[in-house]
């Protein structure tokens, strides 16, 4: 399998799992069928559209290839009919989100590298691809974005570490056919571990007397 084919496959898998995440959020919020479809499409494609606009791949791939629109439609349909059998909706939704995070970190970084961006820029664009759809999902669902919530379990940091590791592997000329899946699994595992153990990012430091004077 060529690197381009692997990238396309990974991206479509990421689109599907992020679309499931968006659809489950819509169902949890009580949205109708149209709302479920819209949130699935936005969650699945939002980060990739932002990536393509930034690197100048216009029009974005989501508007050039029909499968990019059909995959979220299929995921929304599955969620629409199958969600009653999901025993633990909240945790299942977070698992799909974590899977999408890992996959989109990889696809965003690899595409940025293919367009000739440097390691730092490619890593940043990988993070943008990974968190962009979830950010739009939460805004449309009228939630405070996971990315911005106080005391939220680590979300963007696993993405940052995964993209940094992938760009380092590229600089070392390691085979991407191995490095890319490993990076995706690492981000997913890191995110799930953060959810289970409630790892959070540090907040702004304050002196003890400042905390007690409030």
Structure tokens at 186: 């690492």
CA distances to 72, 93, 166, 178, 213 from 174, rounded to whole Å, are 32, 33, 9, 8, 54
192: number of Cβ within 10 Å: 18
Report the Cα 41 to chain-centroid distance in Å.
Answer: 13
The residues near 5 (Cβ < 8 Å, ≥ 6 apart) are none
DSSP assignment string, 18-87:
HHHHHHHHHHHTT--HHHHHHHHHHHHHHHHHHHHHHHT-SS-GGGT-HHHHHHHHHHHHHHHHHGGG-S
**Among 79, 84, 113, which Cα is nearest to 3's?**
113
- Convert the pLDDT of each residue in 186-214 to its tens digit: 999 999 999 899 898 887 777 766 555 55
- Convert the pLDDT of each residue in 12-49 to its tens digit: 888 888 898 899 889 889 999 999 999 999 999 999 99
**pLDDT, the chain, mean:** 87
Total-model pTM: 0.82
């Amino acid at each position: 399998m060529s690197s381009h084919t692997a990238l396309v496959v990974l991206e479509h898998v990421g689109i599907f799992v992020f679309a499931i995440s968006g659809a489950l959020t819509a169902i949890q919020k009580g949205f109708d069928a149209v709302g479920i479809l819209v949130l699935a499409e936005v969650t699945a494609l939002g980060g990739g559209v932002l990536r393509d606009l930034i690197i100048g791949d216009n029009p974005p791939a989501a508007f050039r290839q029909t499968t990019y629109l059909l995959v979220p439609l299929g995921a929304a349909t599955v969620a629409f009919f199958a969600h009653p059998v999901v025993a633990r909706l909240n945790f299942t939704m977070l698992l799909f989100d974590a899977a999408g995070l890992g996959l989109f970190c990889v696809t965003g970084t690899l595409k940025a590298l293919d367009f000739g961006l440097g390691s730092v820029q490619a890593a940043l664009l990988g993070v943008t691809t990974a968190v962009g759809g979830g950010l739009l999902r939460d805004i449309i669902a009228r939630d405070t974005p996971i990315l911005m919530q106080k005391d939220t379990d680590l979300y963007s940091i696993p993405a940052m570490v995964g993209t940094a590791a992938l760009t380092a592997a590229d600089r070392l000329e390691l085979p991407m056919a191995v490095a890319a899946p490993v990076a995706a699994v690492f981000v997913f595992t890191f995110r799930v571990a953060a959810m289970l153990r409630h790892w959070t990012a540090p907040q702004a430091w304050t002196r003890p007397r400042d905390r007690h004077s409030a």
